[in-house]
Amino acid sequence: MRRIIVFDTTLRDGEQSPGFSMNVSEKVTLAEQLAELGVDVIEAGFPIASNDDFEAVRQVARVVAGRAAVAGLCRTKTEDLDRAGEALKEAARPRIHTFIATSDIHLAHKLKMSREQVLEAAVAAVKHARKYTDDVEFSAEDATRTDREFLCRIVEAVIKAGAKTVNLPDTVGHTVPWEYASIIKEVLTRVPSAAGITLSVHCHNDLGLAVANSLEAIRAGAGQVECTINGIGERAGNAALEEIVMALKHRQADFQAETGVKTEEIIPTSSLLVEITGVPVQPNKAVVGSNAFAHEAGIHQHGVLSKTETYEILKPESVGAQGSKLHLGKHSGRHAFRRKLVELGVDLDEESFEKAFARFKETADRQKTISDDDLLSIAGVDADAASSGPFILEHLQFTSGTDIVTNATVTMKVNEGTVVRSAWAYGPVEAACKAIDQACGMSARLLDYSVKATTSGKDAMGEVVVKVEFEGRRAEGRASSVNVIEASARAYAQALNRLSKGASTRPATTVLKPKP
């Protein structure tokens, strides 16, 4: 089993991408967690780039205190190397990471240097860096678009100069797995001294291949993988640490390789990064997305309920997630609905269950997400109680606006008959209650009315609670809906049902046309 070195560059390559910048204390906080996660190297910044980057590398090195090596990035310039050396002075395990581009396109248009000049600069930088630490890494920027002959020459030269790690980045995310593997193999074959150092890979995700390229490079002999939490990084990002680590773990027999990452710390680390940067992870992101262990389709939910492995290859707990989630939505079936109710401590008889399931489906068609609170409302006895009395609200319609008097019309089952009543008022709640009063032949007094959102978002469930008095007796009604006027009407009707037990009601039986 080969031990792959995990080099985390969230605080450098990740941090240098738009929207992800972190201040010194945020970097220190995340570095603490990266150390908990068990990465081998933390690249904490680019010390010459700014005083903050210098300070971040210094403070991260201090707080990490040898639990991981701490790297500072530098160009091949002496001032860069000296600044990194200074920032890492107190580090228990300092690493200087120096880089220069090696592809002809970068040489001609960016560096305006010849291959010989680049080679000389690389060798000189490695030698200079070695004055500060034995742990020197050299990166041949844009290695995947570099002439292979020249790439092998420079790799050999920097190893001779003292580099202990040589990184061959796919800087622009240009390569494909089989090509990257062939580069690694060619370097290992043509540069015999490469067997004595660590060959590293660093992939960008411009074609969505960063993780696949990294894994194939590991199979080809790379011993270090550079990656970031949540795959953040320049442009389309870097290879995602969590995906590489979990792929290596899940297919260990194929890779014959392992890492030192404590995988249970993956989600806490990912969440901390989100908290610090304020940039959420896409829900369908592998390993750390909120849907990574969520199932909505009825067939999948049924499978997961009988054996999780039917639709899950990773154990949620193994990455620090709280278990599989059965997401209840319009695609869900009875199995998941029943299971969820049991989890929520709700035990319904068959008839109530079927009614609740029908209400659930109805709600799921209207709402994208159904929370536990929604479910409790859906499964609650409220609606049942309302419909078990003499009054059942079958239909509500109202017309309301900013400068018109509101009209509400209700169709109610009252005992055996159907009653339609209409009422006018300033607001829709009052109009609905008045229409219900008329339909039920009860004129109750509304003592208290409250509405509160029980879920979040614009499509939140509104729970309405009413307290009603009639002939000296009081009752409460409660109902929830995304339509708070409907919830108000149902809550009111429920209260009337409770009051009607023993009350003198005179339910109307005629159907009246709404008055203008």
Residues 57/88, Cβ–Cβ less than 8 Å: yes
Part in contact with ligand KIV (CB under 6 A); list of ranges 22-30, 165-173, 456-464, 479-487: 165-173
* Neighbouring C-beta atoms of residue 20, cutoff 10 Å: 21
Using CB distances below 5 to 8 A depending on partner kind, what does residue 27 bind out of ligand KIV, Zn ion, none? Answer: none
Cβ 460 to ligand KIV shortest distance, Å: 44
Part in contact with ligand KIV (CB under 6 A); list of ranges 166-174, 268-276, 322-330, 452-460: 166-174
Using CB distances below 5 to 8 A depending on partner kind, what does residue 200 bind out of Zn ion, ligand KIV, none? Answer: none
295-314 binders of ligand KIV (CB under 6 A): none
Residue 233, token pair as written in the block: 């990084």
Q: What share of the chain is helix, strand, coil (3-state, %, to 5)?
A: 45, 20, 35
Using CB distances below 5 to 8 A depending on partner kind, what does residue 99 bind out of Zn ion, ligand KIV, none? Answer: ligand KIV
190-219 binders of ligand KIV (CB under 6 A): 202, 204
Work out whether 139 is an interface residue with ligand KIV (CB under 6 A).
yes
Binding residue (CB under 6 A) for ligand KIV from 40, 141, 216, 243? 141
Using CB distances below 5 to 8 A depending on partner kind, what does residue 463 bind out of ligand KIV, Zn ion, none? Answer: none
Work out whether 26 is an interface residue with ligand KIV (CB under 6 A).
no
193-to-1, 73, 190, 265, 384 alpha-carbon distances in Å = 22, 24, 9, 36, 78
Site of tokens 């149902």: 490
| Contact set with Zn ion (CB under 5 A) | 13
Binding residue (CB under 6 A) for ligand KIV from 20, 99, 293, 492? 99
Nearer to ligand KIV, 133 or 167 (CB): 167
Cβ 99 to ligand KIV shortest distance, Å: 4
Residues 105/142, Cβ–Cβ less than 8 Å: yes
User: Rounded to the nearest 5 degrees, what angle is found at the Cα of 237, between the Cα atoms of 13 and 150?
Assistant: 70
Nearest alpha-carbon partner for 139 in 213, 64, 58, 46: 46
Tell me the three-class secondary structure of 362-410, residue by residue: HHHHHCCCCCHHHHHHHHCHHHHHHHHCCEEEEEEEEECCCCCCEEEEE
- 70 DSSP β-pair partners: 42, 94
Work out whether 173 is an interface residue with ligand KIV (CB under 6 A).
no
In the chain, what's the furthest Cα-to-Cα distance? 103
Cβ 202 to Zn ion shortest distance, Å: 6
**Phi first, then psi: what are they for 105, rounded to 5°?**
-65, -40
Cβ 234 to ligand KIV shortest distance, Å: 7
DSSP per residue, 150-179: HHHHHHHHHHHHT-SEEEEEETTS---HHH
Nearer to Zn ion, 12 or 421 (CB): 12
Query: How far is Cα 228 from Cα 230, in angstroms, rounded to an integer?
Result: 6
Work out whether 13 is an interface residue with ligand KIV (CB under 6 A).
yes
Work out whether 8 is an interface residue with ligand KIV (CB under 6 A).
no
Residues 306/336, Cβ–Cβ less than 8 Å: no
Cβ 130 to ligand KIV shortest distance, Å: 19
CA dihedral over 54, 58, 59, 63, signed as positive or negative? positive
42-71 binders of ligand KIV (CB under 6 A): none
Work out whether 169 is an interface residue with ligand KIV (CB under 6 A).
yes
Nearer to ligand KIV, 171 or 175 (CB): 171
Cβ 20 to ligand KIV shortest distance, Å: 14
Nearer to Zn ion, 13 or 243 (CB): 13
Residues 60/28, Cβ–Cβ less than 8 Å: yes
Nearer to ligand KIV, 74 or 419 (CB): 74
Work out whether 171 is an interface residue with ligand KIV (CB under 6 A).
yes
Residues 445/469, Cβ–Cβ less than 8 Å: yes
Cβ 238 to ligand KIV shortest distance, Å: 8
Q: Which residue is nearest to Zn ion (CB)?
A: 13
What residues line the site for ligand KIV (CB under 6 A)? 13, 99, 139, 141, 167, 169, 171, 202, 204
